[in-house]
Amino acid sequence: MLELLEDWKRTDYCGNLGLKDLDRNVILMGWVQSNRDHGGLIFVDLRDREGIVQVVFNPQLNKESHEKARKLKDEWIIAVKGTVKRRPLETLNQHIKTGEIEVIAKEIKLLNTSKVLPFPIENEIKVDELLRLKYRFLDLRRPLMKDNLILRHEIVSATRNYLNSNGFIEVETPYLTRSTPEGARDFLVPSRLNPGEFYALPQSPQLLKQTLMISGFDRYYQIVRCFRDEDLRADRQPEFTQIDLEMSFVNENNVMEVVEGMLKAIFKLSKGIDIGTPFPRMRYDEAMLKYGNDKPDTRFDLELSDITEIFKNSGFKVFSDPIKRGGIVKALNLKGKVPEFSRKELDDLAEFAKSFGAKGLAWIRVSGDEWQSPITKFLSEAEKEELKRTLKIEDGDIIFFAADRAYTVNLVLSNLRLQLGERFNMIDESKLSFIWVVDFPLLDFDETEKRYVAMHHPFTSPKEADLIHLDTAPEKVKARAYDIVLNGVEIGGGSIRIHRSDIQQKLFDKIGLEAEDAKKKFGFLLEALEYGAPPHGGIALGLDRLVMLLSGANSLRDVIAFPKTQKGICPLTEAPSPVDTEQLLELQIKVDLKQE
């Protein structure tokens, strides 16, 4: 019963028809979204990429077509010849954009059938994600998913247009490259021609784009896949896409200006939104102090306060002991929420805090002059006065405290801040809060490895003025690095690079990378730096995260066509998979699985 297209040629997309097409004879092709058989009239909603249109089959007009239409099921593929007509006034449908018209069918061809679907093709579905990914070809038929991918295309297109017209040259760099130390775990690819040796998939084209600057390309960009073999999160996939760019003869401001212009163009072209530039800047220290992380969500206040000074010599050991061990005490004042807060909720928040490593969550409820709290009795009058002044405590406030090592305090309170902001609807969802975070420390002391590691990456230029501290107080040296944050999500980061081999050597020294080792790992870059390397810098933006924010999706999986689950598998293709022994033999690889 299936038919051939023969000489039928589509004239229009279903979703693009409107009053402008009245009385036109059209040929449409698409999927049956729904089939409403009234015994006499049959209404078929036909769907294609652009949308849905109602097709009407009338037995009095064409008995044979009507007979065929009766048999149609969801997601069958048909071609329809018909005429666009205005709908009777009382049957307009304002839920679809073609709702003012309908297509009166004359002929129909059944091009293909479909099995019954595992889930409906609708935006609002509650289906197990595994099932969606296994049937991704159906999941992507849902308008929401399709729109996300189209938005992604528009963002990429706007990015290319902007960079192309600003003198950037797109250059491809290899996916089969070499493993480098530092950073994330590499994905390895065995080399058949060099048994026992491996390529690594790039974590980013960092070294090669710097090399291109030394080659004199001056302005480079690439929309490029990057690979990192680390555990997955809602906002982390093992392969993801960067908008990667690099510029010669620039300082931080020049790079930021280009990125601001690019984001302006992206938001304008993809969503019609005018975003204000330049974006505000915040020093890393300030972000850590007030927000507890380096990606502050500045859509709402609820800032943290450091109250370590007040409890330095306190008798309250829960606060003073961590300080003696080098930790800190910080607090967050939730203004006027006492009436909305149950004891149960406080307990839940304590559990929430513990999940981030807190030992507990101290709180004070202020009602009138009374401070209801398990800790009040341990506080001296002077301490209470100081708290009142520092935290601007008033009737109805709830104060939360964390005392621990700085890392834990900031982790707990920054997450608590976000949790409370959400719980009390303090976040204006319509807001787009861009912010540059600047003045990052160059180095970070790694407690487990007992050495300094580059906070950004080891090619980041230190601030010239801070170089004198490099030997005496390395943690004081600031980097010429910058992160861009949108609504509390880090969407990109970059830096001005080191372009002098003597300084690069010094940095490698500092992070405990032996000269010989460095030469082996990055030799080509070190050598290139000795052949006239221009001052240069750049940035990489996370395309997937940007699309996620622009689309309102909650997971990267909703803006990537074929993503992976938390265990890193693709349920559609069933990758990864075992391979034939022959393949392994060719690669001279022996798999040694631990039996247990």
Partner RNA sequence: GGGGCCGUAGUUCAGCCCGGUUAGAACGCUGGCCUGUCAAGCCAGAGGUCGCGGGUUCGAGUCCCGUCGGCCCCGCCA
Q: Which member of 189, 346, 427, 453 binds RNA (CB under 7 A)?
A: 453
With tokens 């850590």, the residue in question is 288
If one asks whether residue 569 binds RNA (CB under 7 A), the answer comes out as: yes
Site for RNA in 44-103 (CB under 7 A): 45, 54, 56, 58-60, 73-74, 87-88, 90-93, 95-96, 99, 102
End-to-end CA distance of the chain: 55
As a whole number of angstroms, the distance between CA 106 and CA 160 comes to 45
Task: Report residue 316 as tokens.
Answer: 């309250």
Q: Closest CB to RNA among 105 and 435? A: 105
As a whole number of angstroms, the distance between CA 68 and CA 60 comes to 14
Q: Closest CB to RNA among 338 and 455? A: 455
As a whole number of angstroms, the distance between CA 176 and CA 543 comes to 21
Angle, helices 252-271 vs 143-164, to 10°: value is: 140
Site string for RNA, 512-541 (x = CB under 7 A): ------------------------------
Residue 340 CA from chain centroid, whole number: 33
- Smallest separation, CB 370 to RNA (Å): 34
If one asks whether residue 118 binds RNA (CB under 7 A), the answer comes out as: yes
CA Rg, the chain, in Å?
A: 30
2 Cβ contact list (under 8 Å, min separation 6): 110, 111, 112, 113
Indicate the DSSP class of residue 475. G
CA separation (Å) from 177 to 198, 202, 207, 241, 529?
A: 9, 6, 11, 17, 20
- Smallest separation, CB 507 to RNA (Å): 12
Q: Which member of 55, 310, 332, 454 binds RNA (CB under 7 A)?
A: 454
- Smallest separation, CB 441 to RNA (Å): 11
Task: Report residue 594 as tokens.
Answer: 């631990």
Q: Closest CB to RNA among 322 and 458? A: 458
If one asks whether residue 584 binds RNA (CB under 7 A), the answer comes out as: no
- Smallest separation, CB 250 to RNA (Å): 19
Q: How many CA atoms lie within 13 A of 51 on its CB side?
A: 13
Q: Which member of 342, 355, 472, 577 binds RNA (CB under 7 A)?
A: 355
Size of the site for RNA (CB under 7 A): 72
Site for RNA in 364-423 (CB under 7 A): 411, 415
Closest to 327 in 3D by CA, of 412, 211, 200: 412
As a whole number of angstroms, the distance between CA 531 and CA 211 comes to 11
Site for RNA in 427-446 (CB under 7 A): 444
Q: Which stretch binds RNA (CB under 7 A): 32-40, 269-277, 382-390, 498-506?
A: 32-40
Q: Closest CB to RNA among 406 and 455? A: 455
Site for RNA in 153-212 (CB under 7 A): 182-185, 203-204, 206
Q: Which member of 458, 462, 474, 488 binds RNA (CB under 7 A)?
A: 458
If one asks whether residue 106 binds RNA (CB under 7 A), the answer comes out as: no
Indicate the DSSP class of residue 533. P
Q: Which stretch binds RNA (CB under 7 A): 29-37, 140-148, 267-275, 307-315?
A: 29-37
Q: Closest CB to RNA among 131 and 346? A: 131
Residue 160 CA from chain centroid, whole number: 20
In one letter, which amino acid is 301? D
Residue 519 CA from chain centroid, whole number: 34
If one asks whether residue 347 binds RNA (CB under 7 A), the answer comes out as: no
As a whole number of angstroms, the distance between CA 227 and CA 11 comes to 43
Site for RNA in 231-270 (CB under 7 A): 231-236
590 with 583: CB under 8 angstroms? no
Q: Closest CB to RNA among 277 and 565? A: 565
Q: Closest CB to RNA among 98 and 270? A: 98
In one letter, which amino acid is 553? A
Q: Which stretch binds RNA (CB under 7 A): 279-287, 419-427, 561-569, 574-582?
A: 561-569
Site for RNA in 209-228 (CB under 7 A): 228
Q: Which member of 5, 22, 25, 36 binds RNA (CB under 7 A)?
A: 36
Look at strands 169-170 and 219-227 and give their pairing: parallel
- Smallest separation, CB 534 to RNA (Å): 20
- Smallest separation, CB 140 to RNA (Å): 16
